[in-house]
Amino acid sequence: MASMTPTAESSPRRRRPGIPLGRLFGFPLHMSWSVVVLVVLVTLLYGQVRDVAVGFGFAVCLLGSVLLHELGHAFTARRLGIGVRGITLEIFGGYTEMERDAPTWRAELLVSLAGPAVSLGLGLASAAGALVLPGGNAVHEVVLLLALANLIVAAFNLLPGLPLDGGRALRAAVWRITGEQQRATVVAARCGQVIGVVTGAAAVLLYLSDRFSAFGLVFMLLVAFTLWQGATAGVRLARVPLIDVARLARPIFTVPTGTPLAEAQRRAVESAPPGSALAVADSSGKLVALVQARAAEAVPAARRPWVSVDAVARDLGAIRAVPVGLRGAEALKVLQASPAGEYLVTNDGQVVGVLRTADVARLLHARDQGRGHRESAR
Q: Using alpha carbons only, give the angle 199, 205, 207 rounded to the nearest 5 degrees.
A: 100
User: Cα–Cα distance between 333 and 11 in angstroms, integer?
Assistant: 10
Strand partners, 244: 327
Angstrom distances, CA of residue 110 to CA of 99, 141, 156, 196? 16, 33, 18, 24
Catalytic site includes residue 70: yes
Position 350: which residue type? Q
CB-count burial class (<10 Å; 0-12, 13-18, 19+) for 148: middle
Q: Using alpha carbons only, give the angle 127, 157, 43 rounded to the nearest 5 degrees.
A: 60
Active-site residue (options: 70, 97, 141, 330): 70
Show which residues are catalytic. 70
